Structure 1
């Protein structure tokens, strides 16, 4: 039995789950998400919990069992609490600022880079060297944060660039013969 799939998902107060064949509509205080899943997987709401069951112990059903449960749990957490990814900007003169609903990044290029938030995602700049990406869809929040980081990933020698908050980098040593610099 799948260790993840067999765990019931508790429903927080204010969150409702409507099950249709192959689809679950999760509504909560922060919004609504639709989770598509294989119609062979059985999803039911039983006394305040969402339960996921599989029809057989076949390889395909075993893999879909845990996946479906994880996607539903992420959607329930998203509509009740939301997800946040924080990014840090390191480097002399590197900074970000809000321009309407967009972020303008000055990160060592000859021109500023403009980043627009897709629908359902909120971008904030609490400090000039910090960016906060938030939303209710875990996958979309992670993808937007990864796209922003990919604009200027951290340099392996100096650590300059955009990184996730708390990300630890192993810096490479420079050339052995160079002193100071």
Structure 2
């Protein structure tokens, strides 16, 4: 019994150390994002000259990274993530005639994408098409060409890739899609 207790204690300590290291890494990244955000805000306060389009892209990219970290840390099942993804993707695209809905952010489509991607990572591969659909809705709502998005290449084996691999992530950022899809989809496009 003593050996079992010692083994469990060692296992708990190892798990705690790994979780603590991951938490410290995440905290350092969040701190870096916060510092970048505050640097931009200080430019506004002082009235300095700044590159507003570049700052908007940077702000959006930072929010996307926070969305991604938030979803990756959720202790949810693949099914729960898939269901939440559906709810978040029901964001007014601007082309829909819904009164008083202008407050809904297009970034909800991207949060929905992260949820569908996490569900697929957890084995709910039918979310492959959802990943594609969530990006499509964002592109349509934002007036970005569809070839900047994703396509479902196959369901068996599960494979989702960028439609046009020649479109760089920097081109996507310049067009208003704050995701590095080429990099992000490597795990699904092999």
| Same fold flag (TM > 0.5) | no
- Give the TM-score taking structure 1 as reference length: 0.25
Higher normalized strand content (fraction of residues)? 1
Q: Which has the higher contact order (CA 8 A, sep 6+)?
A: 1
TM-score normalised per structure 2: 0.24
The structure with the larger Rg is 1
The structure in which a higher percent of residues are helix is 2
